[in-house]
Chain A
Amino acid sequence: MAKPGFPRFDTLSLHAGQHPDPATGSRAVPVYQTTSYVFQDVDHAASLFNLERAGHIYSRISNPTTAVLEERIASLEGGVGAVCAASGQAALHLAIATILDAGHHIVSSGSIYGGSHNLFTHTLPRFGIETTFVDPRDPRAFRDAIRPETRLLFGETLGNPGLEILDIPAVADVAHEAGLPLLVDSTFATPYLFRPLEWGADLVTHSATKFLGGHGVAIGGVVVDGGTFDWEASGRFPTLTEPYAGYHGLDFVEEFGPQAYVMRARSEGLRDFGACMSPANAFHIIQGVETLPLRMARHVDNTRRVVAFLDEHEAVAWVGYPELPSHPDHELAKARFPKGCGAVFSFGIGGGREAGRKFIEAVGLFSHLANVGDAKSLVIHPATTTHQQMDADALEAAGISEDLIRLSVGLEDPQDLIDDLDRGLRASRR
């Protein structure tokens, strides 16, 4: 990124994937609110269906508005292409289903979003895919958990909610030595703070619902293909390296080379599972991405002020932000996250669960709800909500204690946020 001769990050945030609409001159990305696209003639139709010509057929598979967002995120992450999905969870499912079959196995960080934990623990096993959870801070644990049937390593750039920093180069080495790809959920970081592909990850997913959209108005997800993984040399990914009867014997790696994965994800995964993003949601998320660099910088500024305030407060037992020397990943944070570790973090409230209840009910600017990455500040108690389905052992392994409160710091005036937190903390001790 920022190489001479190439547009830079802030420019890409505004322009990548779009040229003024050729039909109308519209400068803004139009919402192509349509299900389908008229073919020029019978041969054109057949060629589109057979991937001999590129273009749109039906909005379950692709849509011009959504395609702008796909290219934009691919460009910001430094990938070869991207596929949007209906939600972050749909993106994760699509990323997995594109290359895993029944009988396969995943090695995942144990410190991940509760919904992803559910997918791995309770749902994928129904389809014959098992997951082993390991400590994200221990690359050797990833290696030790790999089995002959393992096909994927997974983690979050910054773990939800503890902000465990995945040592991506080290885990990528483990994956690549075993001939496996590393998939990273980078929702909390966004490409503004960290680009996993540049550090060795092969695939990236986002819940675009969060900071990418940034306004809390649209659910969405995206899978980015880094184009780096050598599916052919690995020899374990027949969906990409063997003829696919679903496309007249198309061999994706033979024909699409570095873009094999993203082509398969769309042409099978969106076509058949159908969890596509709507063009209206793509439009809303594009509005967010346009200001991603500005918003993330401000999210981080506000977070740093809130963290400093909480860290000094006597009602607070601990604060888990990697820029603090007390965080186990402080050194990694300094080396890899110079622009900050995002705007979601957790802290422990003195007095445990009951104090937490009083705190959440006393704050006003911080909205109590299940989301992060909104322009407005948010608060939640994960052990009873987002991570509720995890048992006590899994909660402990993920570092989610009873006193843990998660904040998502928004773009309000930081002093107003601090005043609000102070009010909540005082209430928690009454």
Chain B
Amino acid sequence: MELRVDGKRAFATTGGRTHQPGRRAVVLVHGAGMDRTVWVLQTRYFAHHGRNVLAVDLPGHGRSEGPSLASVGDMADWLSRLMDAADIETASVVGHSMGSLVALDLCARFPERVDAAALLSTAVPMPVGEGLLSAAKANDRDAIDMIVAWGHGRNAHLGGHKAPGLWMTGGAERLLEKADDDVLYTDLGACDGYRDGLEAASRVRCPVLLVLGREDRMTPPRAAQELADAIPSSRTVVLDACGHMPMIERPDRVLDVLGEVIRGGPGPA
């Protein structure tokens, strides 16, 4: 679905279904340097299970016009305006990595607009290593290799994609290569610079699910502990044999646990 936010083209996929009035909405937010397509299975599942889905391309990503936004707060504000443009009053929000921070910040800034949240591969704070930041700043391809190498669990490095014939790390490389210059650096800077996460967490009013990969080397489970403690109502699920890309490494488990917070059926009037 093509929308306009702040006078610019903004894109979100609806999982092949047009939105229908009276249905609860789900908004999915990708991580640094990526786009809506990381959520393909979750998008399609919820769209065909009674929800109005928006898997968004943040500004400067996928099909959404740039430039990309420099802070998590700006992204959360933008997301609220995207929901306005799509006529969505309240939604369940699912975010991955950088997108989990955007989801968290949206919950804190607009508590009345989020009925549930799921934060995948999250950590607060989310510091980014100097080597990765400087490679991203130079638009050096090593930055992509580092993210893909660290971003997948040991199993994923040898494959075993649930979708027959897909090669996980190859798909991640191509996705990151598609981003324009500087997008990855801006995103990583936004993660690194997000300082208000624990304070934001204390303002969250909705139930929150944290989904973490036991083998995640970018946001290891222990790095999410403080966040989980700071959120008034949270539950944490740690997935075995999973790195930083749970929606791709463990898609079925992710759908199952998301289903616990994202319920179908008619929404509030």
Contact = CB atoms under 8 A, between A and B. Distances in A.
A162 interface: no
B40 A255 contact: yes
Interface stretch (A10-18, A120-128, A410-418): A10-18
B78 interface: no
A146 B103 CA distance: 48
B170 A75 contact: yes
A102 to B, nearest CB: 27
Given A78-B170, A228-B174, A54 B164 contact: yes
Interface stretch (B41-49, B68-76, B224-232): B41-49
A62 B178 CA distance: 28
A54 B165 contact: no
A255 B158 contact: no
B171 interface: yes
Contacts of A248: 16
Nearest to A223: B165
A17 B166 contact: no
B167 A71 contact: yes
Interface string B144-175: 01101110000101111111111101110011
B207 interface: no
Given A19-B160, A82-B165, A5 B146 contact: yes
Contacts of A80: 166-167, 170-171, 174
B175 A53 contact: no
Contact of B160 (A6, A12, A18): A18
Contact of A4 (B149, B164, B169): B149
A255 B165 contact: no
Interface residues of B, number: 41
Interface of B is mostly: helix
Contacts of A226: 174
A132 B148 CA distance: 41
Given A17-B158, A54-B41, A258-B175, A81 B35 contact: no
Output the residue of B49, B165, B251 with the most chain A CB within 10 A: B165
B174 A52 contact: no
A53 B41 contact: yes
B150 A259 contact: no
Contact of B167 (A4, A5, A75, A250): A75
A71 B251 contact: no
Nearest to B34: A257
Interface in A238-295: 243, 247-251, 254-259, 262-263, 266
27 contacts: A3-B149, A4-B149, A5-B149, A5-B150, A6-B148, A6-B149, A6-B169, A19-B160, A51-B40, A53-B41, A56-B164, A62-B164, A66-B164, A67-B164, A71-B166, A74-B167, A74-B170, A75-B169, A75-B170, A80-B167, A80-B174, A81-B161, A255-B16, A255-B37, A255-B40, A263-B166, A266-B164
The 8 nearest A-B residue pairs measured at CB: A5-B149, A257-B37, A62-B164, A70-B165, A54-B163, A227-B174, A258-B174, A54-B162
Given A18-B160, A53-B251, A81-B171, 5 more contacts: A3-B145, A3-B149, A19-B155, A257-B35, A266-B164
Interface of A: 3-7, 12, 15-19, 47, 50-56, 61-64, 66-67, 70-72, 74-75, 78-84, 226-228, 243, 247-251, 254-259, 262-263, 266
